[in-house]
């Protein structure tokens, strides 16, 4: 989903090159990688927080978190939620995808039945 959102926003094709143009084709995109290439353990909170903080330091206007997890309850003491709150207090729009876990799809859910 993160790459899909990136393409929807920043595609910059012309009539000569596919003709696909995103919402903001001149956007600058900063990709923050938080998942391992070698493990399916997910992303660690420290890595997610570091990515949020780095994006804020780089003067990002928007942070799109597409972490592939289910939605959860708000916990004011959760370190990731604190980092998001800090980012928003500094004027960054933070958008998070909820409920896009790999097992929430029809083909994946069969593994858990």
Lowest mean pLDDT among 18-22, 81-85, 105-109: 105-109
Number of domains in the chain: 1
- The whole-number average pLDDT for the span 17-34 is 87
Q: Output the pLDDT for position 108.
A: 47
Of residues 14 and 113, the one with the higher pLDDT is 14
Rg (CA), the chain: 16
> Does 22 reside within a domain?
no
CB 2 within 8 A of CB 66: yes
Answer yes or no: is 76 within a domain. Answer: yes
Helix, coil or strand: residue 4: helix
Average pLDDT, whole number, for the chain? Answer: 81
Check pLDDT > 80 for residue 105.
Answer: no
**Which CATH number covers residue 91?**
3.90.25
Rounded distance, CA 21 to CA 5, Å? Answer: 13
Determine the 3-state secondary structure of 62 from DSSP: strand
Domain of 56? 1-11+43-104
pLDDT value, residue 39 = 73
């Amino acid at each position: 989903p993160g790459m899909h959102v990136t393409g929807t926003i920043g595609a910059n094709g012309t009539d000569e090159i596919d003709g696909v143009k995103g919402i903001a084709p001149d956007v600058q995109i900063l990709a923050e990688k938080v998942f391992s290439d070698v493990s399916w353990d997910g992303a660690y909170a420290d890595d997610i927080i570091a990515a949020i903080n780095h994006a804020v330091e780089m003067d990002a206007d928007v942070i799109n978190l597409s972490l592939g997890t289910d939605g959860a309850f708000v916990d004011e003491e959760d370190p990731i939620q604190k980092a998001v709150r800090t980012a928003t207090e500094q004027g960054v729009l933070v958008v998070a995808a909820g409920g896009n876990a790999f097992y929430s799809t029809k083909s994946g859910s069969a593994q858990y039945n």
